[in-house]
Structure 1
Amino acid sequence: MRPLLASIPVLLGLLAPSGMAQVPSREARVSLNVAERDMAHIVDYLRERSGANIEIIDTADDAISTTVVTSLQLTDVHWRTALEIAAEKIACIVEERQGGVLLVTKPAPVIYEARDLDIADVIDVIASTGRANVVIAPEVVGTISVRFHGVPWRDALEVVAKTRGYTVVEESGGVLRVVDPVVLQDQLVTRSYQLRYLRPRGSYAPKIESEFVVGGSTPPEGSAAEHFTVLHALRKALSQAGDLDYIERQNVVLVRDTQQVHETVGSILNSLDVEPLQVFCDVKFVSTLNQDILNLGVDYGGEGPLASFGGGQIPITLPFDPGAGGFEDMIIASPNGTGPFVDPTLNGSAATIIPDTVFGALSFTKFAGTLRMLQQDLSSEVIQAPKIVALDGVPATIFVGETIRYAEAKSEQGQAGGLQLSIQEASSSPVEVGFQLLVTPHIIPGTERIMLEVIPKETSLSGTGDSALAPQGFEVFTIGAAGLEGSIALPRTRSSTMVTTMMLDSGQTAVIGGLTTDSDTESESRVPLLSRIPLVGELFKYRTHNRDRRSLMIFLTPTIVHSDADQELLLQQELGRRRRALADEIEAMVGGGIALDAPPAEG
């Protein structure tokens, strides 16, 4: 056998995706074509698409909900951008409160001009316009010149304070303080932030070993906090006097810093600590076998066309027993034993008559001279169909196979000067044989598209050993020197690895091919003694040339899982598929008449 390995990766094609219903997503992108619609309808639509908490604050003076947006045309924009533009159309703003709650409000506009006026007086005018509760610290002093024309009062207050180097801090109850940032350094506040979905990297990480793959996941060394990148980002937001601690067991972050820093930390965590989407990966390893077979020569007992040879009516006894399925020596004559005789197997005609000879006729009725050239394309077989759910951006791996341990031999010089052989488990043992797939899904924000990093790998034994010492897939090696020789069987493996990145819609199927193994097998069988006769000996030989090409195709279907309802739907689809497959198998065995009832509907 001469095994040939062809592993040219090819992306064969993309199949049509299944329809997916729109589900709320904080990364949703929308297109709006609005004409004469009130703000409440627009907010309801954006709330449905994003799943965000959006509220409209109506007052006695301004009914924002019923305010009409005359025209708004947007194409493929983030829902938050669409909300802010729609609010701007009716002179409103979007405020974000603690917990990510969004408020659509209409702040009082500031129309005011002043030159070289005391900053406290300017702040007082702005606070009166916005009907806000504002406290001005004693250290806030100086003069300022301003000119505002329709600026929201909160924006005007922030700009005035920042111009003189001060800051605005919001306290409980909505009270605003205008203070010097230096003073805040002595007013540190400690708060705890419970992380829900953000967690350090786990102690275990998927990996795939191949000389063609650079990098890969390795478990982190040290404490979890050292590798928690979110903590690094939060520490950069702290002031010089601030401090941050992480309690791993409760997954809680403790921050001691100014109120302004706490607002920044809260904003960062509100945007990062959100429920991650999941991707359900349905994988099928499909193996196909294509065989090109050439049989040339005389095949005794085959299924090919029969050829009868005539001769004298002389009994012939061969010097060996051909065994079951071989040819038989038989005297063929007419029913009365004289001839001529009719052989219906010759040329397919019952009227074919072989003339009498002096000695009669000899025919080997199972003597089949065949010449076959055929191609067999065997049915495809789904050899593995694993399924896995992976978090967005988190690698996951599937391995289906077996682990084979093997030994290595060492020769050492003994005390008497001779060689001593010892056997122990090899340093590179065990070897894993089977199929492995490593995937890392990345969901494109605001879309139903997935970018997949895919690494499939197939490993199999390719040794030619078939003895008790060397089982199939192993090779026998001789060790030692003259007088002290030994044999050891070691596995011989071949593998196919592919590294690719692809873009798919949710529910779309990618077909990965090119993982192909070729093997050629040549064999010759002959009839003892007769095959050695010059010239006619070829009639007693039979040669077979078998070429196998086994191809492995991987069907990969990723589906975005937005909610528990999606998981339930995927489960029901899988149960339905297995129920249909089981029904088909039962029908094939008993010839129909048995049906599997569907489970009763809930409710």
Structure 2
Amino acid sequence: KNLVASDTVTGNVTLRLKNVPWDQALDIILTTKGLAKREDGNVMWVAPAEEVAARERLELEAQQQLEELAPLYTEYVNVNFARASDLSTLITAEENNLLTERGSLNIDERTNTLIVHDTEEKIADIRQLVATLDVPVQQVLIESRIVNASTDFSKNLGVRFGAFKTKDSRSAVSSGSLNATTQALNGDDLEFDDRMNVNMPAGGLGGFGASSIAFAISKADRLLELELSALEAEGKGEILSNPRVVTSNQREAVISQGTQIAYQEASSSGATSTSFQDAVLSLRVTPQITPDDHIIMDLEVSKDAVGALVGGVPTIDTQNINTQVLVDNGDTIVIGGIYEQTKTNSATRTPFLGDLPYVGFMFRNKTQTNDKSELLIFVTPKILRDGLAAAL
């Protein structure tokens, strides 16, 4: 490097240093003599610390004067994906204001445009900031299946767990309704005996195979897969809905269905009016895409049902599940645990004959039912990469 010393730098210094880098030795000398250095490219300027501080102060004042005298321009910056109001708040934030004292920033909300009035340098800085932040937000397709499963349906629900630790990165391990297999890169399938598996597969109805919904969570070199084989039979289960919704990353999506219950409500004047109470099944999902393409989902499931009447106003029985899960892109999470139990007692009889002694029981019939059902919700998040049309 080239060293330039100020005319005010004088005096001698005696040092004895051994195996000390030159830059470290120079710093010791500068500190000892009350000097400071400033570098500009390949040139190092050395002067007393007070002189360096005074020069920097003069340069700053000169720069401020240039900004005050610099001409002002007006630039229209179009914002494509972000909100112009959000960017305006960021640009004019008190702790990081990009505008000069003479500059101004306005917003045209109709066209989502920033109107910047400032020096050419500041306009360039704002354009660079907008180009960095104004990018498309990743979209997530949320697919859900809402199934009302009875106890008979649950008996046909097949569950199989498989876990296998792979030490060879050239192989992949899976498990499902069949034996767990490892498929190497050469295409050969290696059969393994069942390990840590519980197998209760559902048989097909009338010779037809059961539908399959898979839920897999992979973490590093371990694979844990849950395969659900669910069979819908008449009177045993019902798919209530299969809604799909697209939402932005870290934006809440709401899927709901239900009814509004009407009831009469009297006012203080004696007049009556009709009011409505909501009883809905709702699913709230907030996805967050991680850098490695996993999806963190905040899930909230609420199921409302009509309860007893209190003062002529229906009450609402609520059930709620709130959880957070981490899944791979395209995997399915299964949420259960919302049960309903219905007990009924009924009796029928043939008039006159059912009241006869000794033989009347032949003309009477009593029925008792105890139905228990569980609400199962299957949620599958998928990151949209090739547009909405391709995903749907």
**TM-score normalised to the size of structure 1?**
0.40
Please state whether the residue corresponding to 1:185 is helix, strand or coil. Answer: helix
Q: Which amino acid aligns with 2:237?
A: S
- Residue 88 of structure 2 corresponds to which residue in structure 1? 231
- The answer to whether the Cα contact below 8 Å between 1:284 and 1:555 also exists between their aligned partners in 2 is yes
Matches within 5 A, 1:31-110: none
The verdict on how the C-alpha distance between 1:391 and 1:540 changes in structure 2, with shifts beyond 3 A counting, is same
The verdict on how the C-alpha distance between 1:161 and 1:187 changes in structure 2, with shifts beyond 3 A counting, is farther
- The answer to whether the Cα contact below 8 Å between 1:114 and 1:145 also exists between their aligned partners in 2 is no
Of residues 438, 442, 449, the one that matches 2:288 is 442
Counterparts of 1:546 and 1:167 in 2: how far apart (Å)?
A: 91
Please state whether the residue corresponding to 2:69 is helix, strand or coil. Answer: coil
Deviations, residues 101-158 of structure 1 (Å, cap 9, x unaligned): xxxxxxxxxx32222279xxxxxxxxxxxxxxxxxxxxxxxxx97576xx9679x9xx
- The answer to whether the Cα contact below 8 Å between 1:185 and 1:258 also exists between their aligned partners in 2 is no
Q: CA deviation at 1:166?
A: 7.4
Q: Which amino acid aligns with 1:289?
A: S
- The answer to whether the Cα contact below 8 Å between 2:103 and 2:119 also exists between their aligned partners in 1 is yes
Counterparts of 1:167 and 1:388 in 2: how far apart (Å)?
A: 58
Counterparts of 1:453 and 1:510 in 2: how far apart (Å)?
A: 12
Q: Does 2:77 align with 1:193?
A: yes
The verdict on how the C-alpha distance between 1:289 and 1:163 changes in structure 2, with shifts beyond 3 A counting, is farther
- The answer to whether the Cα contact below 8 Å between 1:114 and 1:146 also exists between their aligned partners in 2 is no
The verdict on how the C-alpha distance between 1:456 and 1:476 changes in structure 2, with shifts beyond 3 A counting, is closer
Deviations, residues 424-474 of structure 1 (Å, cap 9, x unaligned): 223xx2x33443322222222x321222222233334456xxxxxxxxxxx
- The answer to whether the Cα contact below 8 Å between 1:449 and 1:503 also exists between their aligned partners in 2 is yes
Counterparts of 2:364 and 2:110 in 1: how far apart (Å)?
A: 77
- The answer to whether the Cα contact below 8 Å between 2:384 and 2:391 also exists between their aligned partners in 1 is no
- Residue 3 of structure 2 corresponds to which residue in structure 1? 113
Q: Does 2:315 align with 1:454?
A: no
Q: Does 2:63 align with 1:180?
A: yes
Of residues 549, 570, 577, the one that matches 2:391 is 570
- The answer to whether the Cα contact below 8 Å between 2:301 and 2:320 also exists between their aligned partners in 1 is yes
Is the radius of gyration larger for structure 1 or structure 2? 1
Equivalent residues, number: 276
Counterparts of 1:513 and 1:184 in 2: how far apart (Å)?
A: 64
Matches within 5 A, 1:385-404: 385-404=242-261
Q: CA deviation at 1:198?
A: 0.8
Of residues 272, 275, 278, the one that matches 1:432 is 278
Counterparts of 1:112 and 1:196 in 2: how far apart (Å)?
A: 49
Q: Does 2:127 align with 1:266?
A: yes
- Residue 278 of structure 1 corresponds to which residue in structure 2? 139
Counterparts of 1:378 and 1:258 in 2: how far apart (Å)?
A: 74
Q: Does 2:322 align with 1:499?
A: yes
Matches within 5 A, 1:375-386: 378-386=235-243
- The answer to whether the Cα contact below 8 Å between 2:334 and 2:379 also exists between their aligned partners in 1 is yes
Counterparts of 1:435 and 1:242 in 2: how far apart (Å)?
A: 52
Counterparts of 1:461 and 1:145 in 2: how far apart (Å)?
A: 80
Greater strand fraction, Structure 1 or Structure 2: 2
Structure 2: runs of 5+ lacking an equivalent: 9-34, 46-51, 154-232
Counterparts of 1:162 and 1:557 in 2: how far apart (Å)?
A: 64
Counterparts of 1:540 and 1:398 in 2: how far apart (Å)?
A: 50
Q: CA deviation at 1:387?
A: 0.9
- Residue 599 of structure 1 corresponds to which residue in structure 2? none
- The answer to whether the Cα contact below 8 Å between 2:151 and 2:236 also exists between their aligned partners in 1 is no
- The answer to whether the Cα contact below 8 Å between 1:512 and 1:554 also exists between their aligned partners in 2 is yes
Counterparts of 2:253 and 2:67 in 1: how far apart (Å)?
A: 47
- The answer to whether the Cα contact below 8 Å between 2:302 and 2:321 also exists between their aligned partners in 1 is yes
Counterparts of 1:491 and 1:145 in 2: how far apart (Å)?
A: 81
- The answer to whether the Cα contact below 8 Å between 1:166 and 1:181 also exists between their aligned partners in 2 is no
Counterparts of 2:333 and 2:82 in 1: how far apart (Å)?
A: 31
Counterparts of 1:409 and 1:145 in 2: how far apart (Å)?
A: 85
Counterparts of 2:54 and 2:127 in 1: how far apart (Å)?
A: 21
Of residues 287, 290, 310, the one that matches 2:151 is 290
Deviations, residues 396-418 of structure 1 (Å, cap 9, x unaligned): 32233444544323575xxxxxx
Counterparts of 2:119 and 2:42 in 1: how far apart (Å)?
A: 24
Q: Which amino acid aligns with 1:192?
A: Y
Counterparts of 2:363 and 2:354 in 1: how far apart (Å)?
A: 5
Q: Which amino acid aligns with 2:134?
A: D
Please state whether the residue corresponding to 2:240 is helix, strand or coil. Answer: strand
Q: Does 2:337 align with 1:511?
A: no
Please state whether the residue corresponding to 1:250 is helix, strand or coil. Answer: coil
Please state whether the residue corresponding to 1:498 is helix, strand or coil. Answer: strand
Q: Which amino acid aligns with 1:275?
A: P
Q: CA deviation at 1:390?
A: 0.8
Of residues 516, 525, 547, the one that matches 2:370 is 547
Q: CA deviation at 1:555?
A: 0.9
- The answer to whether the Cα contact below 8 Å between 1:460 and 1:495 also exists between their aligned partners in 2 is yes
Q: Which amino acid aligns with 1:441?
A: P
Counterparts of 1:502 and 1:258 in 2: how far apart (Å)?
A: 49
Counterparts of 2:70 and 2:343 in 1: how far apart (Å)?
A: 82
Q: Which amino acid aligns with 2:286?
A: T
Deviations, residues 337-388 of structure 1 (Å, cap 9, x unaligned): xxxxxxxxxxxxxxxxxxxxxxxxxxxxxxxxxxxxxxx9943322101111
- Residue 315 of structure 1 corresponds to which residue in structure 2? none
